[in-house]
Amino acid sequence: MTETVVSTRLLEKRYGERTVVRGLDLDVRPGRAYGLLGPNGAGKTTTLRLVTGLIAPTAGTISVFGEQLTSATADRVRQRIGVQTDTELYTSLTARENLELWGGFFGLRGSEARRRTDEVLEMMSLTDRASSPVGSFSKGMRQKMAVGRALLPRPELLFLDEPTAGLDPEATEDLIADLTALMRDTDLTVVICTHQLAGLDTLCSDVGVLVGGTLVAQGDISELIARRWPRTPVRIDVAGDPARAAALVPDATVTSAGIEVQSASDADTEHAIATLAAGGIPIRAAVPQRPTVQDLYFATVADARRNAIESGKVVA
């Protein structure tokens, strides 16, 4: 098995004078979901189009399944990948008819097409709507259909471009739950371009952050968070005067309901709690304030923009 499913080196895309992707060293590991994040215009869709062979790079290399992506290999590589980019479906046909039709485009015939359609409807929790015309579907259901369509040929690698765009929080959660179950039950590798951060850490184990066409951070989400914030703050809510509690614990700051302690380890937290208890201060709650993927994203983008301003560059 190759160590990475997709990897790019010094990948660059220019349109005229404008460089929209620069020096990209992307590494997508097998069996994992990789969230490619970045503000509008950062180059996410362009990157997706490059690594799926839809557009040619200006410079650099792309390898998919360990094979260099070239005009000679692109067709072979594309047979092993699924790409969801739009939600255009035949609105007068039912969900089942749409998928069977698209299955035919992917070379699935007869009972095989019907069996795979049933499997995909099940994966996307659409079985009970299989016989409804797609024109009657909500936006969330159409997005699921678009993802399901990309899954029909059993891809080993699935690319999703903004699959939750325009969905309400429930529909977003629902789609993320279906994709998370899919990741759990198969060896599929997923690359998902998004700026929808809520729930992303349930689905994705890895992220890459693109700013102004440059990949400014990449790796395992937990490792990136631990590297950036080695000390996890712990909020300790107490009864009575928080100032009294703060006076007992080194480096504690007062909050409305208690104190916050910059804790390096569980032992530090336990020590703080024991100190408060010994001081006769009743403890109501102790809650680690772990940074989220949202915190990581905003901090990384802010750093990149600050660095760009300091070096006189303008970024998206």
Should residue 22 be labelled a site residue for ligand ATP when binding is judged by CB under 6 A? no
Handedness of CA 282, 288, 294, 298 (dihedral sign): positive
Of the candidate residues 40, 111, 256, 311, the single one contacting ligand ATP (CB under 6 A)? 40
Cβ proximity to ligand ATP: between 145 and 210 the closer is: 210
Minimum Å gap between C-beta 99 and ligand ATP is 27
Whole-number Å distance between alpha carbons of 92 and 104:
18
Interaction between residue 163 and ligand ATP (CB under 6 A): no
Candidates 4, 19, 45, 58: give the one binding ligand ATP (CB under 6 A): 45
The reply to whether 43 sits near ligand ATP by the rule CB under 6 A is: yes
Does position 153 interact with ligand ATP (CB under 6 A)? The reply is no
315, two tokens = 């970024």
Among 5, 6, 20, 99, binds ligand ATP (CB under 6 A): 20
Which residue, 44 or 96, has its beta carbon nearer to ligand ATP? 44
**Pick 21 or 89: Cβ nearer ligand ATP:** 21
Question: According to CB under 6 A, which residues from 179 to 208 bind ligand ATP?
Answer: 195
Give burial (CB, 10 Å; 0-12/13-18/19+) of 16: exposed
Q: Are 30 and 2 in contact (CB under 8 A)?
A: yes
CB contact at 8 A, 212 and 304 = yes
- Closest contact distance (angstroms) between CB of 28 and ligand ATP is 17
Contacts of 287 (CB under 8 A, 6+ apart): 234, 235, 237
Rg (CA), the chain: 24
**Rounded CA separation 231/265 (Å):** 7
Q: Which of 35, 38, 212, 242 binds ligand ATP (CB under 6 A)?
A: 38
- Per CB under 6 A, 46 contacts ligand ATP: yes
| Part of the chain binding ligand ATP (CB under 6 A), chosen from 40-48, 61-69, 91-99, 267-275 | 40-48
CA nearest neighbour of 82 among 62, 53, 57, 52: 52
Which of the stretches 43-51, 74-82, 124-132, 278-286 binds ligand ATP when contact is defined by CB under 6 A?
43-51
Shortest Cβ distance from residue 160 to ligand ATP (Å)? Answer: 13
Minimum separation from the CB atom of position 208 to ligand ATP (A): 12
Q: For residues 42 and 264, what is the distance between their CA atoms, to the nearest angstrom?
A: 35
Listed in sequence order, the residues at least 6 apart from 7 whose beta carbon sits closer than 8 Å to its beta carbon are 25, 26, 27, 28, 62, 63
Binding site for ligand ATP (CB under 6 A): 15, 20, 38, 40-46, 195
